[in-house]
Amino acid sequence: MTANPNSHSGNSRGAISIRNVSKVYDPGGVNVRAVDDCSLEIAGGEVCMIVGPSGCGKTTLLNAIAGFHSISEGQIDLDGEMLCGPSKPLADQGADRVVVFQNGALFPWKTLAENVAYGPVVQGVMNKNEAREKSIHMLDEAGLSGVADKYPGEVSSGMARRAEIVRALINDPKVLLLDEPYRAMDALTKSIMHESLLEVYDRTKVTIFFITHDLEEAIFLGDRVIVMTTRPAKTKKIVDVKISRPRDYRLLSSEEFRVLVEETKEAVHEEAVKAFEAGERELA
């Protein structure tokens, strides 16, 4: 499988190659295979959406790319360089792959501007003043100019999440890793988040690896939607979203969009049923 032809970025940065990756957990002597022989090529500048039933191993994959967890077999490369593989099961953590977390992980003890400035300062690429200036500028661009000096606890969850994406982008990462970042949000906030993320993507063309349960979200945002099987995770179906960019909310009511959602839904539903039955067997 080669780079997705639909990815219209021409970006050579941030290509992820996942080859035959497996992950076996061993809690209490019983092997649990979370990911099984999973292969996936993600082109530089692609928005790759990962959907699948709960607990299927999507996050395990993200954790392996980010360097939070090791892999048991296979290899993951970023732009041709090995992140983790047989000789080095745990990838180094680095600012070329920044994660945006499910429940948000802005440091609550730092203001939004301090949070954004944190990366460049600790990496030593900017001094404090430069980093602050750049942070304020980037928060402005994201429509957060009024709240740069507020603490995360003082702003809405939508603002906090946008600031978290700015905190990632200031490092000019090759890949943004998003783990169901909008899960706990109401539909209205979510749609604003989607447009803001698309706007960011159109500007930066950063590779996006995005885990979600929400099929409409997946198709609205993605170049490709990867449907994973239930545990152990493999790729079950790949849906190419050949819808041109820039996209906006009107797309949601188009025929083209509905067809893709239906097509994906069928595959996901099958896996969800399997996952549910497996869960019942485990409980029985």
Partner 1 sequence: MSNQSVGGVAPSGFRLMLLRSARALRTPMPYLAFIGIGLWLGIYFLFNEYWKLFPFYKIPGPVEVVTEWVSRDPIWGTSLFTEDYYRNIWVSCRRIGIAFALATGLGVPLGLFMGWSQKFKDYTFPVLETLRPIPILAWVPLAIVMFAGFETPIIYLATLASFFVTALNTMLGVESIDESYFRAAGCLGSKKHHVFFHVVVPGALPFIFTGLQISIGVAWFSLVAAEMISGDYGLGYMIMDSYMVNKYTTMVMAMLTLGFVGWTTSAMVRVAGNRMMQYRQKALGQGGV
Please identify, among the stretches 2-10, 35-43, 73-81, 149-157, the one whose residues bind partner 1 according to the rule CB under 8 A: 149-157
Nearer to partner 1, 160 or 268 (CB): 160
Under rule CB under 8 A, residue 107 binds partner 1:
yes
Q: Which of residues 55-84 bind partner 1 (CB under 8 A)?
A: 66-68
Please identify, among the stretches 16-24, 114-122, 198-206, 215-223, the one whose residues bind partner 1 according to the rule CB under 8 A: 114-122
Nearer to partner 1, 134 or 265 (CB): 134
Under rule CB under 8 A, residue 254 binds partner 1:
no
Under rule CB under 8 A, residue 94 binds partner 1:
yes
Provide the minimum distance between the beta carbon of 150 and partner 1 in the complex, in angstroms, as a whole number. Answer: 8
User: Radius of gyration (Cα) for the chain, nearest Å?
Assistant: 19
Under rule CB under 8 A, residue 211 binds partner 1:
no
Task: Tell me the β-bridge partners of 76.
Answer: 18, 84
Under rule CB under 8 A, residue 27 binds partner 1:
no
Contacts of 28 (CB under 8 A, 6+ apart): none
Under rule CB under 8 A, residue 119 binds partner 1:
yes
Under rule CB under 8 A, residue 25 binds partner 1:
no
Task: Tell me the three-class secondary structure of the chain, residue by residue.
Answer: CCCCCCCCCCCCCCCEEEEEEEEEECHHHCCEEEEEEEEEEECCCCEEEEECCCCCCHHHHHHHHHCCCCCCEEEEEECCEEEEECCECCCCCCCCEEEECCCCCCCCCCCHHHHHHHHHHHHCCCCHHHHHHHHHHHHHHCCCHHHCCCCHHHCCHHHHHHHHHHHHHCCCCCEEEEECCCCCCCHHHHHHHHHHHHHHHHHHCCEEEEEECCHHHHHHHCCEEEEECCCCECEEEEEECCCCCCCCHHHHHCHHHHHHHHHHHHHHHHHHHHHHHHHHHHHC
Q: Which of 3, 24, 82, 95 binds partner 1 (CB under 8 A)?
A: 95
Question: Residue 1 is encoded by which pair of tokens?
Answer: 């499988």
Nearer to partner 1, 167 or 234 (CB): 167
Under rule CB under 8 A, residue 154 binds partner 1:
yes
Provide the minimum distance between the beta carbon of 151 and partner 1 in the complex, in angstroms, as a whole number. Answer: 4
Under rule CB under 8 A, residue 143 binds partner 1:
no
Under rule CB under 8 A, residue 220 binds partner 1:
no
Cβ atoms < 10 Å from Cβ of 256? 12
Under rule CB under 8 A, residue 103 binds partner 1:
yes
Q: Which of 25, 39, 77, 151 binds partner 1 (CB under 8 A)?
A: 151
Provide the minimum distance between the beta carbon of 148 and partner 1 in the complex, in angstroms, as a whole number. Answer: 14
Q: Which residues bind partner 1 (CB under 8 A)?
A: 66-68, 93-95, 97-99, 101, 103, 105-110, 118-119, 122-123, 150-154, 167, 171
